[in-house]
Structure 1
Amino acid sequence: MKYLLPVCLFFSSTLLAQNIGDRKFVQEVATVYSIEQGLPAGPVDKIYWKDNTLTAQAKGTSYTFQDESWVPATGKSPVRNIEKAPVPKGTRVLAQARYKNSWAVGTDQGLYLYEGKKPVKLYPADSRYSWSLRNVAALTVDSQGRLWFGADEGVGYLDGKQWRLFTGKEGLPYTKFTCAAAGPNGTVWFGTERGAIVAQNDFFRYRASRRWLPNDHVLDIAVQPNGTAWIATRGGISRIEPREMTLEAKADYFTNQVETRHNRMGFIAQNELTKQFQIESSQVAISDNDGMYTAMYGAAQAFRYAATGSAKARELAIRSFRACKWLVDITHEPGFPARVIIPADWHEPVNEQYGREYNKKRQATDPQWKDIYPRFPKSKDGKYLYKIDTSSDELAGHYFFYGIYYDLVAKTEQEKQEVRQVVGDITDHLIRHGYKLTDHDGKVTRWGDFSPEYFSSVYGYDQRGLNSMMMLSFLNVARHVTGDVKYDAEAKKLRDTYQYHIFALHPKEYFPAENVVPWDNNLCLMSLYGLLKYETDPALLLMYRQSLENAWLHISKQKNAFWDTIYESLADEFTRLVDQKAFARTDLFPENHLYAPSVVKTHYRAANHPAYILENLQKIPLDLIGYTMHNTHRLDVVLDGTPGQSEDMGWRTDGLALPVDERAHVRQDRDGFALNASEGDGYSEHEGTFFLLPYYMALYHKLLDR
């Protein structure tokens, strides 16, 4: 069974010479039709394509598809003539198909092939399985003449005289079939009671949830010659069409999506939908980490500018930098970044929503939750409110972006000085307060403590590895941007006195399960980027390369394009340094001369699969509404058996996360192994940075042509 489908469909060998961003691939796009488009409420029983007309049947009425609406048929509409197959004695017919001038009949008792008037029961078998079938509810013949069936046991096809059979072990997501339809190029669509399945080149794609269907119970499927599938369900119709697209066109789409629906005063965040699933009802919203998400968008545009020279990208990167800097400039003390800035007349009563009662409720589950009020102080000019109790998430975003912006976008001395100022202000604030983000009440924020005392406490021991590494990264970025060696001195003190570099070898939590949260993966990888990129000491680089590998291995099976891109870009730079003999010195780690050559040998090359980055980018849906998606019922998943792990975590039987378009994954800081998840249940749309940052970063680092 092939688990890695080549998702990029090339249309000419000459495309090999094209820029990767201009090569065409197939992007599946779903459109849902229900009452608003003219269909009656409830099930649509049949759908078929005949005489270039699409017809659906619901509640005894025929509807034809015209101008994106369904119209009750007037006069004579195309009729689908269905021959009735003979019924094998003692069975109940569930499906039928014409096969080689005869009948294949699926029944509750098995699969039959008629030889003349005589039904012969078939017992499909290949090198792995031998089946006596039950409930053969799906039958069709594909464009290559192969007979396909769907039954309780699984899926199979007869190619000549050879059977090929599939279960969950081979990637089949589900059974409980209801119908089947053949498409072009050997493609077959199956309907089930919980979604639709596409079989192509012995690989299965699963289309379920409101992202793809109005209702998961599929009743009928029709496929047009161009591959567009029309799926009738118990709650309406879905059109899933294959569109030729390029990565550059996809990037343009998402940049427009961000600028049109996710830009609030220069800050980038998810939006809210006042009507479930309806993009037209979107309104700007605030997140808990506007600074981080704006920084990530700014970094995407900075990489875009460096890779393409786009003047518009530079403009957007500068705007994002100014927004992030504003978060720092507006607060009570130089260097303290706010989470959010909103107008003073914002439509939500935020200080009432996040008042004393809110804090008490949070402390019931989190004893360290900070009881601070107001959580949204007013700016000095009285025009704005800004959110405090800032976390390490914000700092990770700021420092990640500032180094990239300084290197790739800032050109003039004034532009560079602006970066030096804000980086210096934040870093000096942390140093001045003992490596703590300190609020307007003079106390550390809930998630902003990077101090040695915190790491030695019962409350902060589990943050020691991540926060030690992050603090060293912040100091590396500060020294690189400002040129001030005092930040090197601070880093040396943290290493020599408090062993921060040793703690950084364990840069995130791996166990117990309750301590392993996906946003820490984001903070970790983003901070490792600045840590390794700006480190000059070869001994520390060896240690940090080991830290990078430890962090990445834990999430290497999630097929996250952003995390894989950070990892591979840093690992490639390490390879370059090894080739330049940067670690050939004999005075590195004199207490053990074997350590340096061991790290060089073990981690010389990146261990990821570069093709996964491209696959993930192509599979990211154009629709980034946060749908609720369930996958624990699937036959092709294995539940995570880690002690203490929640019951809805797992991966495909090949050990890799489900494809990104089959899981509720529309933000970078989410877990690809979450089988049941939601991101707003259809009441929010998420920003296209989800695609833009890994794409432009990978393009800049030349990782997509491998």
Structure 2
Amino acid sequence: MKYTLFILINLLGLTVFSQSKQPVYLDKPFLQDYSIKYYSDNDKIQLKKVFTDRNGNIKVLSTNGLLIPVDGAFLKAGKLKADKSYRTIQHKHLLDIGLFQNQFVFLEENSIFSNAWAGSLMSKFQLKNTKLFSAGSDFQFLVSDGKKLELINQNKTIWSSSIDEEITDIKFSDHLFWVLTKHSIHTFSIEKNHSTKVFEGEDLTAFELIPSKKLIIIGTNDGFYRFDYLHKRVLGSKVTKLPSTNITTIKSIGEKLWIGTNNGCFSISQNEKIDYYNGERWLPNNDIIQISEGKNNSALILTKSGLAEIFFQKMTLAEKADFYEKQVRTRHIRNGFNASIEGMAKGDLSTGFLADSDNDGLWTSMYLGAEVFRYVVTKSEDALQNCRESLDAMERLFTINGIPGFPSRSFERSGYIKQLADPERWQHAQDKEWDWKSTTSSDEAIGHIFVYGAIAELINDNSLRKRSIKLIDTLMSHIIKNDFYLIDYDGKPTTWGKWNPSYVNSFPKNVGDRKLNSSNIVAMLQTAYHFTKKTIYKEKAFELMKKHGYFENLMRPMKEIGYAPEDADEHSKKMSDAWNHSDDEMYFLGYWGLYRYAFNDTLKAHYKKAIIDHWQTERPEKEGLWNIFTALTGTSSFDLNEAAWYLREHPLDLIDWNISNSHRKDIEKLPENFRTQTIKEVLPPDERPIQRHNANMFNLDRMRGNGTSEHSAGDIWLLPYWLGRYLGVISPPQK
């Protein structure tokens, strides 16, 4: 694609405008965060501190001696094990650990020593019951028992003093030792042998010095202060608009300030952007003990249950797509379906199984769509083979049940009905080796038609094209033959497979199902006519639009959709008790056929208005797929930067960990509303529960089945990315 010279610069990449006047996100590397966790296998010991030395070795001080992280990798939890590297110090009772010249230094009763410098460092002192220390310069160390202070150098006590408060931390910076108590901060000058109180406050819990800015960040049990120690003044008021305010530790790493609390940790960048790390997606435990700097600006987060190392890897969206492609192919393909892993034990992928789903046809149609667009963009034979295998599964949904034109929800080998989800929906196939799932809904139907249309239009494989057109015709023939119903094995319409006017128009005009079902069935009929040229599909579509008001229904502005009126029937009230995000998914999948295969340009222009009207309503969610689907209309405004944000901010870990955000003080909560938008600004995907596109992106918490399942990236991430690449609004990776 050729780009004009008009360039818009955003924070993490570039956006240019194509010749079609649509913006294009230039895929430049960004920093992708991920966590490797190490759990303590002994809950009786207390973890105290963690550091890494110049060689990249990590050591954790505990009440049971030194520990090291072993056998950990991304998505594979490791353990904290006893450090046996120096057998000659294993008998020592270590009280504290620190760094000097990026080498480990240890405190034991009456001495400070190290294995660095050929083991020559051994500074002895007289102070009893020591608890903590800090290294200064030129092998000087300040030690404390919590009240008294002694400065030592080569077995000599140079200076001693005491403070009438409990000393909780000591640091060295700007040629000064800085001493923290619960109510004050003091400095000690080596040159002057003199201490000075520089700050007074209440409930001080942690502090960090940033010499380049002459700042101290002072933590409390309710937020933190920024203190200008050069001019001895607090900058602004106490900062409390934070994810959690009970601060336990503070550390400056690179250009970020890291803050640990008793409910997770967070980083604050120079532009005040907060990234919150909560739950076992990131941490062994939310109770943070200490944060220190790891290799390459990684963050070592020590918690009560273990250690997390949070890494930041440069990555393009294309590289992220490759990562997710492997995730899907190695773990999430079940009989050709795009499936989830369930039944895991606390995130252990080896303990889970590939699960059937009510929506196997829908999730697979979305993943299959991603592979269609990937093939068109890259001409990858691997993508084409993936299309073949998933189309095999989609095709078999029709043939396994013996009902002409009826797609099953799913199928599985026989003998397991009682172990499968919704066992009452499962039926035996004529082939005794297999069972199939009934009660197929409109969700699956629109997914089928969307992806068969994409294959038929875009893939230059004659066999795949013919099979897809046949499947379109098969499904739509069933629907028309049965008066716009999906008819199940029992000869009755399924609960949700209903597009008949008597059903659709039974809803009041402001109930969403009236608009949705009208939009979907017109899109499906247009797709069927476009590829089969059978006039019945066109005739039925115009009959629905003109005679039964489906055009008026589908064009109804989204602002009119809401609660059913008081005099409505109970079904209408039930169907409009809140905004249905599954409906959004059905709408946007349907927009492919509604807009792309419109009968004429006049209708196409109207459809464009309906799509953009819907998108305007969805904008607060920053939903990547809805934004990029909107781009198919050719509009220049579809929140491309928010779509790219969605793709960048998705975590690599798609496991359903428990996560909590409701307690946060940095989010603005909203009153209850029809759209179930809980907060003013949507949280990034890596801070909220893992969700498919049919979920509410404003969900704050997930507190069930911690680490028991893993989602596939096939529908969640790969579809919006490859659709964006196909539409040309996301560029190939840039150098």
TM tier, smaller: 0.7 to 0.9
Contact 2:656–2:707 (CA under 8 A) maintained in structure 1:
yes
Q: CA deviation at 1:24?
A: 2.5
Distance in 2 (CA, whole Å) between partners of 1:514 and 1:114 is: 65
Question: More deviation in 329-338 or 692-701?
Answer: 329-338
**Correspondence for 2:49 among 46, 53, 67:** 46
Aligned residues of 1:55 and 1:63 also touching (Cα < 8 A) = yes
Cross-structure match for 1:200: 269
| Structure 2 match to 1:628 | 658
Other-structure match for 2:282: 212
Q: Deviations over 1:375-432 (max 9, x none)?
A: 22222233311101011110121111111111122432x4322122110111111111
Matched, 1:681 2:706: yes
Residue aligning to 2:455: 405
1:454 and 2:503 are equivalent in the alignment: yes
Which secondary structure does the structure 1 equivalent of 2:412 belong to?
A: strand
C-alpha displacement of 1:246: 2.8
Q: Distance in 2 between matches of 1:143 and 1:476?
A: 66
Q: Once the two structures are superposed, what CA deviation does each residue of 1:210-229 show, in whole Å capped at 9, x if it has no partner?
A: 10011101011121251111
Separation in 2, partners of 1:680, 1:514: 27
2:468 matched to which residue of 1? 419
For 2:257, the equivalent position in structure 1 comes to 188
Q: Does residue 1:61 correspond to 2:74, yes or no?
A: no
Cα deviation 1:275-296 (Å, max 9, x = unaligned) = 2211121211111100011111
Listed as ranges, the gaps of 5+ residues in structure 1 are 11-18, 123-132, 356-374, 576-604
Change (3 A) 1:551 1:672: same
Task: Show the counterpart of 2:247.
Answer: 177
Q: Secondary structure at the match of 1:98?
A: strand
Check conservation: 2:520, 2:590, Cα contact below 8 A.
yes
Structure 2 equivalent of residue 702 of structure 1: 728
Residue equivalent to 2:121: none
Counterpart CA distance in 1 for 2:729 and 2:372 is 17
CA contact (8 A) 2:50 2:61 kept: yes
In structure 2, relative to structure 1, the CA distance for the partners of 1:262 and 1:66 (3 Å cut) is closer
Indicate the SS of the match to 2:506: coil
What is the CA distance between 1:66 and its match in structure 2? 5.2
**Which structure carries more strand by proportion?**
2
Paired letter, 1:675: L
- The residue matched to 2:311 in structure 1 has which SS? strand
Deviation at residue 89 of structure 1 after TM alignment: 6.8
Q: Does 1:553 align with 2:616?
A: yes
Give the partner amino acid of 2:706. D
* 8 A Cα contact 2:579 2:675, kept in partner: no
Residue 204 of structure 2 is matched in structure 1 by 136
Per-residue displacement from partner, 1:215-262 (whole Å, max 9, x unpaired)?
A: 101011121251111111111111111122232332222222112211
What's the CA shift string for 1:63-119, capped at 9, x where partnerless? 134564533233348335434589897755555543433355555446666795231
Structure 2 counterpart of 1:641, one-letter code: P
Q: Which residue is 2:315 aligned to?
A: 245
Displacement, 1:302?
0.5
The equivalent residue for 2:544 is 494
Give the aligned residue type for 1:101.
Answer: H
Is 1:281 the counterpart of 2:351 in the alignment? Answer: yes
**For structure 2, which runs of at least 5 residues remain unmatched after alignment?**
1-8, 16-23, 73-78, 91-103, 107-132, 135-141, 148-161, 564-575
Match of 2:585 in 1: 522
Alpha carbons 2:226, 2:235 under 8 Å: kept: yes
Q: Deviations over 1:441-495 (max 9, x none)?
A: 1111111111111124369954111111111111111112222232111110001
C-alpha contact 1:9 1:25 (8 A) present in aligned 2: no
Deviates further, 282-291 or 54-63: 54-63
Partner Cα distance (2:10, 2:704) in 1: 27
8 Å contact from structure 2 (residues 282, 310) kept in 1: yes
SS of match in other structure, 2:671: coil
Deviation at 1:322, TM superposition (A): 2.1
> Structure 2: how far apart are the matches of 1:406 and 1:518?
28
8 Å contact 1:47–1:221 — kept in the other structure? yes
| Structure 1 residues 299-448: aligned runs within 5 Å | 299-346=369-416, 348-350=418-420, 354-355=423-424, 375-412=425-462, 414-448=463-497
CA separation of 1:22 and 1:521: change in aligned 2, threshold 3 A:
closer
Instruction: Tell me the distance in 1 between the aligned counterparts of 2:553 and 2:167.
Output: 66
Counterparts of 1:136 and 1:148, CA distance in 2: 11
SS in 2 for 1:629: coil
Match for residue 139 of structure 2? none
Match for residue 128 of structure 2?
Answer: none
Q: Is the 8 A contact 2:655 2:690 kept in 1?
A: no
| Contact residue 14 and residue 27 of structure 2 kept, 8 A | no
Contact 1:155/1:165 (<8 A) preserved: no
Mapped contact 1:5–1:203 kept (Cα < 8 A): no
Within the candidate set 110, 118, 131, 2:196 is matched to: 118
Q: SS of 2:411's equivalent?
A: strand
Letter in 2 for 1:554: T
Does the CA-based 8 Å contact 2:529-2:537 persist in structure 1? yes
Please give the alpha-carbon distance, in whole angstroms, between the structure 2 residues aligned to 1:348 and 1:67.
Answer: 38
TM-score between the two structures when normalised by the length of structure 2: 0.78
> Cα offset for 1:46?
1.5
Q: Distance in 1 between matches of 2:557 and 2:394?
A: 26
RMSD: 3.2
Between the two proteins, the alignment pairs up a number of residues equal to 622
Structure 2 vs 1, CA of residues 43 and 612 (structure 1 numbering), >3 Å: closer, same or farther?
farther
**2:248–2:290 contact (8 Å) kept in structure 1:** yes
Q: What residue in structure 1 maps to residue 30 of structure 2?
A: 25
CA contact (8 A) 2:187 2:195 kept: no
Secondary structure at the counterpart of residue 568 of structure 1? helix
Which deviations, in whole Å up to 9, do the C-alpha atoms of 1:127-185 show, x marking residues without a partner?
xxxxxx5433231124745432333553454576697668889x63221100012212x
